[in-house]
Chains A and B, each alone.
Chain A
Amino acid sequence: MYDVLIIGAGITGTMLAYELSQYQLRIALIEKENDIADGATMANSAIVHTGYDPKDETMKAKMNVEGARRYEKLCRDLGCKYKTVGAFIAACGEEEEAQLDILAGRADRRDIPYRWLSGDEARAEEKNLSDNVTKVLDFYTTAVIYPWEVACACAETAVNNGAKLYLNSPCTGIEKTDGGYIVHTPEQDLLAKTVVNAAGVYADQIAKMVNEDPGFAITPRRGEYYVLDQDADFVNHIIFPVPSEAKGKGVLAVPTVYGNTLIGPNSDYVDDKDDNGTSFDGLAYVRANISKTMKNVPLNRSIRTFSGLRPTSSDPDFIIREDDEAEGFFHIASIESPGLASAPGIAAYVAEELIAKRIPLIKDPEAVMTREAPVVLSELSEEERSELIRKNPLYGRIICRCEQVSEGEIVDCIHRTCGAATVKGVKKRVRPGMGRCQGGFCEPLVLGILSRELGIPMTEVVLDSLKSRILESENRS
C-alpha cells in the first residue's frame, strides 16, 4: 500500500512528489496523459511572481510568497533554468497609479522588494513600452522559469528516490477502505493510505468521487498566447498592465528563459475541460490589449500560438485542505495564477501541515534531493564540447539547428528517469522544435531517434498522447 497517492503530474503534483520523496514514504504519482506536465503546466506565463498581487490573508498570498522564496534554490538543486528578469507593473494615468500604491503596500507587508520608475525612466529601459505609461512599479526580483522543465526534474528526482509514476492512468473511481483508499485506473487498482487531488481542471470531478458535495466546482478559464521569435528583441522585463478584479493580471509581455517573448493571455471561461484550442476572438483580444502597455508589438515574428486552461473555481482563493468527509484525502484545487510560483510553498504546506497529521514524516537518509542537470551543448565552451563529443560522437550531430540541440542530448532525455517517449516529450525536455522553424527540419530526425532508442517502428512514434500518431503508414514496405 502506498502512503501517498498523488493524482495529477502537473507542477503541483510533481512538486509535492519531490517534496515528499525526502521522507520514508511510498509515493505514487498518477497522470491521465502520456507525459508529465501536459496540462496547465505546459501552457502558462512561466513567471515566478514575487507575491505582491494576492490579497492579504489569503492562501494565495501565503503560498506565493513562500513559493517564490524557495524557487531559486530549488532550481539550483534540480539543475533547472531560473532567470531573474524583473516585472514592470505599468500604470497609465492617475487612477491606475493609485492601484500601484495598493500593490506596493502589500509588498511592504510581505517584505517584497520593489522600486518606482517614472514613465520615461521605464521607457529608457524598455524601448517598446507604451508612451501612455506614466508610472511603473518594478518588482525586480521576479523571475521566469521553464515550468515543464521544473515539473520533469521534480518527477525525475522523486522517482529516483523511489516514487512510482503511472502515465496514461486516469483515475476512474475511488473507494474508501478501512486503512485508506483504492484508486481505480484502467490498467490497475492502486491502494493508498492518503490521496492528494492535484488534478487541475479535473479536481472537482476527482473530489466528487469521495464527496458528493466537495464544496467547489472548477470552470476552466482559457488563456491564449503568442510566442515571438528569439530575434524579435522586444522586452527585457515582464510587462504587466495594472491588475484588475475583473480581468486578472491582464495581457503581458514576458521574456522567456530562452529569449523568446510571450504575449498573452486573454481570459475566457470555457465549458469543456479539454478545450485547449486557440480561438479567433481570444487571439484578437490579446492583439488588441497588449497595446495598452506596449508599442511596436512585432506579432509578425510570431512562431506559435498556444492556449492553456486555468483551473479556476468558485472560490477566489486556492483550495488546499483535507476533504470535509474523506479523512486522509486532500485537495489542492483552484490552483490558478500564481499557482506556478506557489508550487514549492504548496508542496511544503501540504506535506508538513496536512499529510503529517495523518502519516509521520521521517526523513529518508538515502534520499537525494538534487539532480544532475542534463548536458546543454550550446552552453558549453568549445573545449568542453569537443571533450564530450570525443567520448560520445552523438553530441557532435546537431539535430535542431534553431536551438542547436544535439543527438546526444535527445538520446539522454529519452533514457533519463521519467524520460521522453514522444516527440513533444523530447521538445519539452531539450527543445528541438521550439525554435522558429517549429520542427520543420528536426521533427523527422527526432522521430527517427525515438524509434531507434525506444525500439518501436517509426509509425508508432506519437506526438503526445497515445493516439497522436504522426505517420500514417510505411510507404513501399
Chain B
Amino acid sequence: MITKELICVNCPMGCRLKVEMEGKEILSITGNTCPRGAEYAAQECVRPMRILTSTVKIDHGTHRVLPVITDKAIPLDLMFKAMDEVRTVRVTAPVAEGQVLVHDLIGSGADLIASRSMEKN
C-alpha cells in the first residue's frame, strides 16, 4: 500500500488530503472538508484535471484581449495543446460573460467561455 499526500486545488482552502492506494486502486481518502475534495483526490491519482484560464484576441472590444475560462476542468497533460487552440481563437465584440466561444475544446468535453462581458468600443 502507498500513501499519497495531496493539496486540494478545488478552492483556495487548500485542504491537505491523504490518499491510501494499492496499485491503481484507492482505498481511502482523508483530510477533505467537502465531497469535492474526495473527487479531486480520486481524479488526481489517476489523471490530474485543471481549469484553464487564458485570453483570446477580441476585435472592436474595449480591450485588445478577452479573458476566457474552460467551463470544466480539462486534463493537465493537455494544457499546452489546449493553449495552441486558444491562441487561434478570434472573437468580435460585443461578448457576454459565459458566452461559449469554442465548443468541446480539443475534444476535452469542456467549452471555452468568455470570463467577462465586453462591449463594442
Contact = CB atoms under 8 A, between A and B. Distances in A.
Nearest to B55: A476
Contacts of A477: 57
A392 interface: no
A477 B87 CA distance: 9
B11 to A, nearest CB: 28
B81 interface: no
Interface string A447-477: 0000000000000000000000000000111
Nearest to B87: A476
A interface SS class: loop
B64 interface: yes
A475 B67 CA distance: 13
B49 interface: no
B41 to A, nearest CB: 35
Contacts of B56: 476
Interface residues of A, number: 3
B65 interface: yes
Interface string B3-28: 00000000000000000000000000
A444 to B, nearest CB: 12
Contact residues on B (Cβ < 8 Å of other chain), bracket: under 10
Nearest to A476: B57
Interface string B62-105: 00110000000000000000000001000000000000000000
Contacts of B65: 475-476
A313 B63 CA distance: 54
Contacts of B64: 476
A477 B57 CA distance: 7
B86 to A, nearest CB: 9
A139 to B, nearest CB: 55
A477 B58 CA distance: 10
A95 to B, nearest CB: 62
B5 to A, nearest CB: 36
A72 B74 CA distance: 68
A417 to B, nearest CB: 33
A474 to B, nearest CB: 8
Interface in A211-267: none
A475 B57 CA distance: 9
Contacts of B87: 476
Nearest to B54: A476
Nearest to B64: A476
A231 B64 CA distance: 37
Contacts of A475: 55, 65
B65 to A, nearest CB: 5
A476 to B, nearest CB: 4
Interface string B44-65: 0000000000011100000011
Nearest to A458: B64
A121 to B, nearest CB: 57
Nearest to A477: B57
A326 to B, nearest CB: 56
Contacts of A476: 55-57, 64-65, 87
A134 B112 CA distance: 73
A476 B87 CA distance: 6
Interface in A69-128: none
B88 to A, nearest CB: 10
Nearest to B89: A476
A461 to B, nearest CB: 15
Contacts of B57: 476-477
A155 to B, nearest CB: 36
A477 B56 CA distance: 9
B55 to A, nearest CB: 6
B25 to A, nearest CB: 44
Nearest to B65: A476
A475 B54 CA distance: 11
B87 to A, nearest CB: 7
B68 to A, nearest CB: 11
A477 to B, nearest CB: 7
B64 to A, nearest CB: 7
A80 B87 CA distance: 50
B120 to A, nearest CB: 18
B97 to A, nearest CB: 19
A449 to B, nearest CB: 16
A475 B64 CA distance: 10
Nearest to B86: A476
A312 B67 CA distance: 54
A477 B55 CA distance: 12
Nearest to B66: A476
A58 B74 CA distance: 77
A476 B64 CA distance: 9
Interface in A157-203: none
Nearest to B56: A476
B82 to A, nearest CB: 15
A348 to B, nearest CB: 53
A477 B59 CA distance: 11
Interface string A126-146: 000000000000000000000
A217 B57 CA distance: 57
Interface of B: 55-57, 64-65, 87
9 contacts: A475-B55, A475-B65, A476-B55, A476-B56, A476-B57, A476-B64, A476-B65, A476-B87, A477-B57
Given A475-B65, A476-B56, A476-B65, 4 more contacts: A476-B55, A476-B57, A476-B87, A477-B57
Across the A-B interface, the 3 shortest Cβ-Cβ residue pairs: A476-B57, A476-B65, A476-B55
